[in-house]
Amino acid sequence: MADRPLDVLEATLDEDVTVTLKGGDTVEGTLTGYDQHMNLVLEGENTTIIRGDNVVSIQP
């Protein structure tokens, strides 16, 4: 049985990720936070907050 999406996010905290957004744009950074709606907080050159409904995929 596959892990639930929030379990996967928990395991990925403080890891570098690439997030693909609707429209094909990508954002890279360290995943430092998330919530039950899969809103994400990425740290890198800047702090970026991404709404969960814009996320297509998250890759290490």
Domains defined along the chain, listed by start: 5-59 (2.30.30.100)
Q: Which pair of tokens denotes residue 42?
A: 């990425």
Reported as a single tens digit per residue, the pLDDT across 11-50 is 999 999 999 999 999 999 999 999 999 999 999 999 999 9
pLDDT band with cut points at 50, 70 and 90 for residue 52: very high
pTM, full prediction = 0.88
What is the rounded end-to-end Cα distance, in angstroms, of the chain?
21
Rounded mean pLDDT of 43-59?
95
